[in-house]
Amino acid sequence: MAKKTVIISGAGIGIGHATALAFAGDGYRVYVTDILEEEGNRVAEEIRAGGGEAVFRRLDVTRSEQADAIVAEIDKNHGGVDVVVANAGIAHRVPLAEMTDAKWDLTHEIDLKGVLRLARAAAPRMRERRSGAIVAVSSISGIAYGWAEHVHYSAAKAGILGLVRGLAAELGPDGIRVNGVAPGFIRTAQSLSEEHSMGEAKLAAQVPAVPLRRIGQPDDVADVILFLASNGARYITGQTILVDGGLTIQQG
């Protein structure tokens, strides 16, 4: 079988890094993309050192021309993108009194429109081939939880749910599946940030609220993303799956 190609945004660290390794382990050619060039190159090198195939391309998901160019490269060299994983995101703490239009817009340009830009670029060739899978990374803050001083983030991540459903309805007749994942408390650089998120102590304090009694790891999410892109999920589209250890069932 021909090697399949996946493009992953925000693949230099955290969930994106774990997802790149998961797809490489499943035999995919991995396009590692990020604005973090050192980290992204390191991930691609890690995959190649393990016998896989990977390249790094710098991608600022706020720039449509960059997304278009990388997808065009894949279309030319490999016949098209098989899987898009739209993972790039930011979560900056901004109290409402300090929420400017610019701060609101930046989060939406990255967290929500970044998903659109990759999906829009990949869709034409996917439609020609009548196959493909798109997986977008949302958050429990977009599906079940409010997050004080992060209203722009919560709104953008909620927007991903609607985008997933709309794209799934539009692209489904062409054989393209579109799904999302909504991670809960996952141990990443974002969640460990004292400035913008919980930090180490507060993250650890959430364990009793999680029925599985642990904080998630990036590969817990990556494996679900890989499943959603696989033939095992061939009749699943338009869904956003919570990957939260049971947090949102509100078990006492």
Domains of the chain: 5-187+218-242 (3.40.50.720)
Write the single-letter amino acid at 199: G
pLDDT value at position 204?
87
Q: From the CB of residue 223, how many other CB atoms can be counted at a distance below 10 Å?
A: 15
Residue 1 has a pLDDT of 66
Residue 193: its pLDDT value, please?
Answer: 65
What is the DSSP pairing of strand 29-34 with strand 5-8?
Answer: parallel
Task: Check residue 201 and give its pLDDT.
Answer: 83
Q: Which residues of the chain fall short of a pLDDT of 50?
A: none
This model's pTM is above 0.85: yes
> Of 150, 153, 121, 148, which Cα lies nearest the Cα of 134?
121
pLDDT of residue 69: 98
The kind and range of the H/E element at 126 are: helix 113-129
3 state DSSP class of 99: coil
Catalytic residue list = 153
Cβ–Cβ < 8 Å for 98, 150? no
